[in-house]
């Protein structure tokens, strides 16, 4: 049984993320928590006998289906013998914060439409890794029974939001300069970011105006996913006003989009490059590492190298695994990011849009957004999809591991997460199979990106056609 995708479990509440599934996943999570507690007490647990209490914090975003799904999740957890702490409506980063020293479950479909919902699971502030997810899937498939009647857990309400906001403010104050006088517009997208980011930025001294600042999981103001197309109101508002910065979130505030004072979206990889360079320069460790994904721009590598750090890449949706691997290899991870999603290790092990907004606010206060962007070389970037039936993907990717290096003999090649080709002039391309659709994805960045994309897609199309023979 395969339940988890790149960001938890997600899908329609009619036929995938149902109350029945929530009960089953909750019971599976609760059973794993009980096992961990027992193993920790004996010092034999997989987490080194951490001895975390058998307690799970449960929260949800503002979707109309969230309350019922949270109730089902809580019933499953308690019936396995674990205790529940009901945290109500929260941004996902606040739930992750509240899971430190214990476990957490967030009912959210992030940027998906209101017809969907989802499940994200945390332990000690980090998303479950593949091993823990597989264990949950196995328990769900096996149909685990409830614990004995006198071993069921209990529940009580908790309120971690204020503590989370204080923690973000304290963390951000270690960077940049006071934001007194800075003018910022925040589009919360009627998501739970409305409970975190505006309050944090005001505490840092900024004047904040919100758009779509009420929590409403119907997403009446705009689609939950923040894109240049869906952020039309924010872009227009900024273009006719005098603001220093625009910020936008998705439905649960793990994603962040940055806009300049004219309403133009700052490329997501430029934002990553700015933050990555800052954290490397601020690091005192001898080997500062930035973790990112194979589809991330070479501009990140350039700024990190200029600051004296190095970049390590990990598969999409697995920043927490990349951080753990880099640390195991002796590096000091100072920042981790994939497009739109950032992990601040000195703050916590979770993706946190509010923390990024807070740090960027203080950096803009110190240098201005233009000053932060000036060192970043922004080459044209393209992403295209080449038709490829699922049954051909494995053969096609195996063939591309030889064909793409042959097409670019002067390039460095990495085949760990697809085929990534980096050329001496700073241009690069990545070819990887889609995990959800019948495509092979082509990413490219180059001064003449159309020529590079054309060459790569021709190679991919020929390989896919041959794989069908």
Whether residue 204 sits in one domain with residue 142: no
- Rounded to the nearest integer, the mean pLDDT of the chain is 94
pLDDT at 39: 81
pLDDT (mean) for 401-414 = 93
Q: Which of 259, 291, 319 is the last residue of a domain?
A: 259
Asked if residue 128 has pLDDT above 80, the reply is yes
> Which has more pLDDT, 51 or 420?
420
Write down which residue in 259, 286, 315 finishes a domain.
259
Same domain for 170 and 139, yes or no, is no
Q: Is residue 302 situated within a structural domain? A: yes
Does residue 376 belong to any structural domain of this protein? no
Q: How far apart are CA 277 and CA 301, in angstroms?
A: 9
In the block, tokens 């993706």 appear at 351
* CATH label of the domain that carries residue 458: 3.30.310.50
Q: Examine the domain organization and report whether 235 and 141 are in the same domain.
A: no
**Residues 391, 334 share a domain:** no
Residues 330 and 313 occupy one common structural domain:
yes
* Residue 110 is among the residues annotated as catalytic for this protein: yes
- Which DSSP symbol is given to 5? B
pLDDT-based confidence at 87, cuts 50/70/90? very high
Q: How far apart are CA 202 and CA 245, in angstroms?
A: 14
Residue 43 reports pLDDT greater than 90: no
Please check whether residues 222 and 153 belong to one and the same domain.
no
Instruction: Report pLDDT for 426.
Output: 86
Check residues 398 and 318 and name the one with the higher pLDDT: 398
Q: Where are the alpha helices (DSSP H) in 100-156?
A: 130-142
Looking at residue 42, its pLDDT comes to 38
Average pLDDT score over residue span 22-27: 98
Domain edge (last residue) among 127, 158, 189: 158
Residues 154 and 15 in one domain: yes
Measure CA of the first residue to CA of the last residue in the chain; give whole Å. Answer: 31
Q: What is the mean pLDDT of residues 180-200?
A: 97
CB-based burial label for 253 (10 Å; 0-12, 13-18, 19+) = buried
Catalytic-role residue among 79, 99, 110, 356: 110
With a cut of 70, say whether residue 47 has pLDDT above it. Answer: no
Distances (CA, A) of 69 to 98, 108, 141, 322, 390: 19, 10, 19, 31, 32
Residue 186, strand partner residues: 210, 247
- Grouping H, G, I as helix, E, B as strand and the rest as coil, residue 4 is coil
Residues 276 and 238 in one domain: no
Whether residue 48 is predicted with pLDDT greater than 60 in this model: the reply is no
- 49 pLDDT more than 60: no
Q: How far apart are CA 387 and CA 365, in angstroms?
A: 46
Is residue 401 in a domain? Answer: yes
One domain for residues 205 and 324: no
> With 60 as the cut, is the pLDDT of residue 226 above it?
yes
Q: What is the pLDDT of residue 357?
A: 98
| pLDDT score for 469 | 61
Cα 378 to its chain centre, rounded Å, is: 23
Q: How far apart are CA 176 and CA 256, in angstroms?
A: 19
Burial of 148: CB neighbours in 10 Å, binned 0-12, 13-18, 19+: exposed
Confidence of residue 46 (pLDDT cuts 50, 70, 90): very low
Same domain? For 325 and 187 the reply is no
What is the residue range of 106's domain?
9-158
pLDDT of residue 7: 81
Q: What is the pLDDT of residues 246-299, one digit of tens each?
A: 999 999 999 999 999 999 999 999 999 999 999 999 999 899 999 999 889 999
How many domains does the structure of the chain reveal?
4
pLDDT tens for residues 324-344? 999 998 999 999 999 899 999
Residue 13 lies in a domain: yes
In a domain, 4, yes or no: no
**At 243, which CATH number?**
3.40.120.10
Residue 81 has pLDDT above 70, yes or no: yes
Phi/psi region, residue 426 (left: phi>0; alpha: psi -120 to 50; beta: rest), is left
Domain-embedded: residue 1:
no
Are 244 and 307 within one domain? Answer: no
Looking at the domain assignment, is residue 3 inside a domain?
Answer: no
Mean pLDDT of 106-130: 95
Task: Output the six-digit token pair for 186.
Answer: 């925040």
For residue 337, is it within any domain? yes
Above 80 in pLDDT, residue 40? no
Work out whether strand 381-387 and strand 439-445 pair parallel, antiparallel, or are unpaired.
antiparallel
Looking at the fold, whether 235 and 193 belong to one and the same domain comes out as: yes
**Which one has a higher pLDDT value, 6 or 328?**
328
pLDDT over threshold 90, residue 149: yes
């Amino acid at each position: 049984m395969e339940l988890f995708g790149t960001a938890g479990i997600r899908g329609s509440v009619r036929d995938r993320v149902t109350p029945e599934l929530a009960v089953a996943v909750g019971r599976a999570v609760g059973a794993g928590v009980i096992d961990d507690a027992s193993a920790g007490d004996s010092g034999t647990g997989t987490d080194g006998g951490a001895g975390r209490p058998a307690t799970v914090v449960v929260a949800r975003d503002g979707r109309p289906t969230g309350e019922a799904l949270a109730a089902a999740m809580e019933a499953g957890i308690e019936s396995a013998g674990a205790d529940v702490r009901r945290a109500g409506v929260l941004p996902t980063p606040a739930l992750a914060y509240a899971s430190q020293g214990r476990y957490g479950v967030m009912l959210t479909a992030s940027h998906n439409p209101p017809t969907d919902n989802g499940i994200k699971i945390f332990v000690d502030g980090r998303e479950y890794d593949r091993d823990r997810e597989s264990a949950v899937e196995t328990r769900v498939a096996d149909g685990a029974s409830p614990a004995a009647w006198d071993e069921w857990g209990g529940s009580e309400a908790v309120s971690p939001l204020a503590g989370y906001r204080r923690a973000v403010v304290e963390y951000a104050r270690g960077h940049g300069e006071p934001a007194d006088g800075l003018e910022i517009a925040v589009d919360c997208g009627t998501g739970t970011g409305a409970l975190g980011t505006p309050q944090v930025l005001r505490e840092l001294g900024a004047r904040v105006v919100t758009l779509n600042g009420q929590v409403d999981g119907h997403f009446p103001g705009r689609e939950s996913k923040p894109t240049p197309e869906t952020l039309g109101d924010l872009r227009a508002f900024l273009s006719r006003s005098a603001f220093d910065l625009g910020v936008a979130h998705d439905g649960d505030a793990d994603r962040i989009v940055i806009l300049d004072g004219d309403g133009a979206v700052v490329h997501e990889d430029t934002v990553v490059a700015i933050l990555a360079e800052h954290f490397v320069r601020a690091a005192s460790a001898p080997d500062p590492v930035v973790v990112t994904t194979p589809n991330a721009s070479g501009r990140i590598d350039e700024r990190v190298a200029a600051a004296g750090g190095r970049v390590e890449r990990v598969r999409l949706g697995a920043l927490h695994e990349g951080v753990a691997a880099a640390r195991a290899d002796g590096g000091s991870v100072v920042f981790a990011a994939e497009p739109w999603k950032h992990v601040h290790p000195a703050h916590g092990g979770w993706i946190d849009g509010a923390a990024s907004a807070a740090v960027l606010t203080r950096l803009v206060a110190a240098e201005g957004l233009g000053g932060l962007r000036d060192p970043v070389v922004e080459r044209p970037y393209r992403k295209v999809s080449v038709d490829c039936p699922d049954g051909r993907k494995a053969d096609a990717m195996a063939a591309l591991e030889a064909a793409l290096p042959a097409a670019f003999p002067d390039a460095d090649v990495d085949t760990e997460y697809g085929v990534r080709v980096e050329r001496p002039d700073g241009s690069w391309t990545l070819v990887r199979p889609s995990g959800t659709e019948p495509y092979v994805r082509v990413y490219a960045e180059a001064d003449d990106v159309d020529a590079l994309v054309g060459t790569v897609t021709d190679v991919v199309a020929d390989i896919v056609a041959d794989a069908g023979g």
